[in-house]
């Protein structure tokens, strides 16, 4: 190769090296120091969303339970003395008052026992009085008086027991109620403890139900209870008891309510739906379609604040139906996003358009 060709080749290499150095120190540095704007960035504008202004309202939530109705009082009247049923004073379904006799058992000589002990008491009282007069004149010993006092006390005890037995021959209603069952007929021989009548009080009722452990803190005695009967009727009452410990099998807390039943409807022993009215609180009624979930899985809604920014606020569901949902946890007044919420994120600036204007 000639000397001229070597000289031409060296010049070409020198130019290439200079070009590489110029590109590395000029264009690359400029690209790293001043990046070009993204395409279309200068022309982007906020997303338009449809909004509806909502105002919170006073809402009274309720807790629904499936419950059981029971008579306010229910007792099986049993015999406290043995004997033969001589007469029935009440019939099935009859209303009775407290203290009213239900039947009469045979005396079987027990009235004579009462008279005998009454006579014994009168004699011992006379003997004791005479002994005390003698004692005042030192004509009777103190031990004689003590002996008579002991005999008199024993006789009085026997008289009381005999009189009680005579009273037990006419069992009485312990409270106002209705005869719900009868286990004896005239001529039936009964022993002590034999069942006679079932007496129930139904002008007042007791409703029982189970409250989940997540909601028991919202139930307190005194709250109003509305009860829907299977026949379409309703009763109203108040919570009277909330259990302090959960059922270990179901992890639920028993709640009881007392309800007035002035018409004496035959509903005791049946099932019913209880609705416990909880304290009023501000809430909003929205369509379930406007609810969405955040990253933690909590339900909430999107609305636009005063700075036209999207806000996602978790809510508490108070009641949900096919018509809508009552939710709590929102400000008193919001501009709810009704269309376009799925295309905007929390904190993003948007152009809100009123729902009425968007439909025009």
Give the separation between CA 78 and CA 191, rounded to whole angstroms.
9
CATH of the domain at 149: 1.10.287
Res 30: pLDDT: 39
Residue 142 tokens, joined: 């103190």
Question: Is 318 within a domain?
Answer: yes
Question: Residue 5: inside a domain, yes or no?
Answer: no
**Residue 247 belongs to what domain range?**
64-71+202-277
**pLDDT score of 51:** 92
The domain total for the chain is 3
Query: Half-sphere exposure of residue 236, counting CA atoms within 13 Å on the CB side?
Result: 3
Q: Do both 158 and 209 map to the same domain?
A: no
Domain assignment of residue 192, yes or no: no
Q: Are residues 326 and 351 in the same domain?
A: yes
The two three-digit tokens of residue 359, written as one number = 């439909």
Same domain as 354, residue 293: yes
Q: How many helices (H) and strands (E) does the chain have?
A: 5, 21
Same domain for 161 and 212, yes or no, is no
Give me the pLDDT at residue 145, please. Answer: 85
From its phi and psi, is residue 108 left (phi > 0), alpha (psi between -120 and 50) or beta? left
Please choose, from the candidates 61, 60, 63, the residue with its C-alpha nearest in 3D space to the C-alpha of residue 227: 63
Residue-wise pLDDT tens digits, 294-314: 888 889 999 999 999 999 999
Closest C-alpha to 316, from 214, 222, 174, 229: 214
Round to whole Å and give the CA distance between 288 and 23: 61
Q: In CATH, what number is assigned to the domain containing residue 273?
A: 2.40.30.170
> How is 46-85 classified by DSSP, letter by letter?
PEEEEEEEEE-EEE--EEEEEEEEEEEEEEEEE-SS-EEE
Per-residue confidence (pLDDT) for residue 23, from 0 to 100: 54
* Residues 271 and 304 placed together within one structural domain of the fold: no
- The CA-CA-CA angle for residues 299, 303, 309, to 5°, reads 125
State the CB neighbour count (10 A cutoff) for residue 305: 14
Question: From the centroid of its chain, how far is CA 233?
Answer: 21
pLDDT at position 16: 58
Rounded Cα gap, residues 249 and 353, in angstroms: 54
Mean pLDDT by groups of 10 residues along the chain of 360 residues: 50 52 46 47 75 92 90 95 95 94 94 93 90 80 86 94 94 95 95 95 93 91 89 88 93 94 89 89 91 86 92 89 88 91 88 71
Q: Where does a domain end: 277, 296, 317?
A: 277
Answer yes or no: is 182 within a domain. no
CA distance 236 to 212: 22
Same domain? 268 vs 299: no
Whole-prediction pTM value? Answer: 0.65
- Does 93 reside within a domain? no
Asked if residue 273 and residue 293 are part of one domain, the reply reads no
- Nearest Cα residue to 351 out of 304, 315, 319, 287: 304
Judge whether 43 lies within some domain. no
d(CA 307, CA 312): 14
Chain centre distance of CA 304: 38
205-227: pLDDT as tens digits: 999 999 999 889 989 999 999 98
345 lies in a domain?
A: yes
> CA geometry: angle at 342 spanning 338 and 346, to 5°?
95
Q: Is residue 320 domain-shared with residue 353, that is, in the same domain?
A: yes
Whether 11 is in a domain gets the answer no
């Amino acid at each position: 190769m000639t000397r001229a060709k070597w000289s031409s080749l060296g010049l070409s290499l020198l130019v290439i090296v200079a070009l590489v150095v110029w590109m590395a120190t000029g264009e690359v540095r400029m690209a790293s120091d001043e990046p070009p704007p993204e395409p279309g960035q200068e022309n982007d504008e906020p997303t338009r969303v449809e909004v509806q202004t909502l105002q919170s309202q006073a809402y009274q939530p309720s807790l629904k339970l499936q419950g059981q109705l029971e008579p306010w009082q229910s007792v099986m009247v049993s015999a406290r003395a043995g004997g033969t049923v001589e007469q029935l004073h009440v019939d099935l379904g009859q209303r009775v008052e407290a203290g009213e006799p239900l039947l009469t058992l045979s005396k079987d000589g027990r009235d004579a026992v009462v008279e005998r002990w009454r006579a014994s008491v009168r004699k011992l009282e006379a003997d004791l009085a005479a002994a005390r007069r003698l004692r005042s004149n030192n004509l009777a010993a103190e031990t004689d008086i003590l002996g008579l006092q002991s005999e008199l006390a024993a006789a009085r005890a026997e008289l009381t027991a005999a009189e009680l037995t005579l009273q037990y021959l006419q069992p009485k209603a312990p409270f106002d109620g209705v005869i719900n069952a009868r286990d004896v007929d005239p001529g039936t021989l009964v022993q002590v403890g034999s069942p006679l009548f079932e007496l129930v009080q139904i002008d007042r009722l007791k409703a029982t139900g189970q409250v989940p452990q997540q909601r028991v803190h919202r139930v307190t005695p005194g709250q109003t209870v509305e009860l829907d009967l299977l026949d379409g009727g309703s009763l109203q009452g108040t919570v009277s008891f909330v259990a302090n410990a959960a059922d270990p099998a179901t992890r639920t807390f028993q709640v009881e309510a007392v309800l007035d039943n002035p018409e004496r409807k035959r509903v005791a022993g049946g099932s019913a739906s209880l609705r416990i009215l909880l304290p009023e609180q501000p809430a909003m009624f929205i369509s379930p379609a406007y609810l969405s979930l955040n990253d933690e899985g909590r339900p909430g809604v999107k609305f636009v604040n005063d700075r036209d920014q999207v806000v996602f606020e978790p809510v508490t569901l108070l009641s949900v139906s096919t018509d809508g949902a009552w939710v709590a946890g929102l400000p008193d007044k919001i501009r709810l996003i009704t269309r376009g919420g799925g295309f905007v994120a929390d904190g993003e600036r948007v152009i809100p358009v009123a729902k009425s204007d968007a439909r025009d």
